[in-house]
Amino acid sequence: MVADGMSVIRTTDLTIGHAGTPLVKGIDVELRAGELVVLLGVNGIGKSTLLRTLAGLLPPLHGSIDILGKRLNGLAAMERARAVSVVLPGRPDAGMMDVRTLVALGRQPWTGHFGRLGPADHAAVDQAMSMMELTDFAVRDLRTLSDGELQRVLIARALAQRTPVLLLDEPTAFLDVVNRLRIMQHLHRVTRELNALVVLSTHDLQSALDLADRVLLVTPGSLWSGTPQRAIQEGRLQDAFRVEGLRFDPASSSFRP
């Protein structure tokens, strides 16, 4: 557990991209424990690339990332798995696995090669399932779950990993309105009860602005960081999502003709 408000992620002159081609340059941000941070921007702007770079899945093209004061690219794989958990899009090919078994896989960074769960591991799994309202789902076959239910299971697996950082790429994609809001509310609760830093990309603009502590707004070549209120008041969202014939309505956090 990290102290409330402690600096968890710090980037310095970070450039992200693919195959030597930069997408976003000069990223200097500091993200803290207990924050829900939403990553916003149009499709293809670099949100997923940024998340994967923060997770150590992609190398930065320039600059550095520190996690709890340690350089990310200097961490061994096991150290990184104990610092950062990740939820990526898509349904896992888990065969006939049940819900609790999949959630328990989140304990692998702590249980070693044999994967034996001790009392602390079972407690972490129980807490993760409770926080995502999955206690009654323990023996459900994953193949029987709806998209919304499965997304909660994947987040629970990441929570069971007990990392100070949780990164999620479009966790509300393809979900209905009720499940989108439910996921966002659960993640907001995670930041408060576990004092974790949660960073997620989303197109669910209204829920994001209602619940987020901070917005990371990706625009062509650069990134802006600030509160949702500032993003609205300074016209940042209008500029970032400018579409011909549409305007951003601050009252509803949505675009209108």
For residues 40 and 46, give the distance between their C-alpha atoms in angstroms, rounded to a whole number: 10
Query: Is residue 1 one of the residues assigned to a domain?
Result: no
pLDDT over threshold 90, residue 156: yes
For residues 72 and 65, give the distance between their C-alpha atoms in angstroms, rounded to a whole number: 6
DSSP codes of every residue in 42-89:
-TTSSHHHHHHHHTTSS--SEEEEEETTEEGGGS-HHHHHHHEEEE-S
CB-side exposure of 145: number of CA atoms within 13 Å? 27
With cut-offs at 50, 70 and 90, classify the pLDDT of residue 198.
Answer: very high
- Which pLDDT score is estimated for 114? 74
CA-nearest of 70, 75, 73 to 58 is 73
Chain segment 99-154, per-residue pLDDT in tens: 999 999 999 999 977 778 999 999 999 999 999 999 999 999 999 999 999 999 99
Query: Is residue 33 one of the residues assigned to a domain?
Result: yes
For residues 90 and 109, give the distance between their C-alpha atoms in angstroms, rounded to a whole number: 22
User: Please, are residues 67 and 59 in contact by the beta-carbon 8 Å criterion?
Assistant: no
pLDDT over threshold 90, residue 228: yes
For residues 167 and 197, give the distance between their C-alpha atoms in angstroms, rounded to a whole number: 8
**């209204």: which residue's tokens?**
206
Per DSSP, what are the bridge partners of residue 67?
A: 9, 70
Query: CATH number, domain at 233?
Result: 3.40.50.300
DSSP codes of every residue in 194-256:
S--EEEEE-S-HHHHHHH-SEEEEEETBEEEEE-HHHHHHTTHHHHHT--TT-EEETTTTEEE
Burial class (CB in 10 A: 0-12, 13-18, 19+), 116: exposed
Query: Is residue 11 one of the residues assigned to a domain?
Result: yes
Chain segment 64-108, per-residue pLDDT in tens: 999 999 999 999 999 999 999 999 988 777 778 999 999 999 999
For residues 106 and 86, give the distance between their C-alpha atoms in angstroms, rounded to a whole number: 10
Query: Is residue 99 one of the residues assigned to a domain?
Result: no
pLDDT over threshold 90, residue 250: no
pLDDT over threshold 80, residue 12: yes
Query: Is residue 168 one of the residues assigned to a domain?
Result: yes
Per DSSP, what are the bridge partners of residue 216?
A: 39, 225
Query: Is residue 226 one of the residues assigned to a domain?
Result: yes
Query: Is residue 115 one of the residues assigned to a domain?
Result: no
User: Please, are residues 54 and 9 in contact by the beta-carbon 8 Å criterion?
Assistant: yes
Query: Is residue 151 one of the residues assigned to a domain?
Result: no
With cut-offs at 50, 70 and 90, classify the pLDDT of residue 1.
Answer: low
- The tally of domains found in the chain comes to 1
- Which pLDDT score is estimated for 195? 94
Average pLDDT over residues 204-209: 86
SS3 171: coil
Give residue 201's domain range. 7-88+163-256
For residues 225 and 203, give the distance between their C-alpha atoms in angstroms, rounded to a whole number: 17
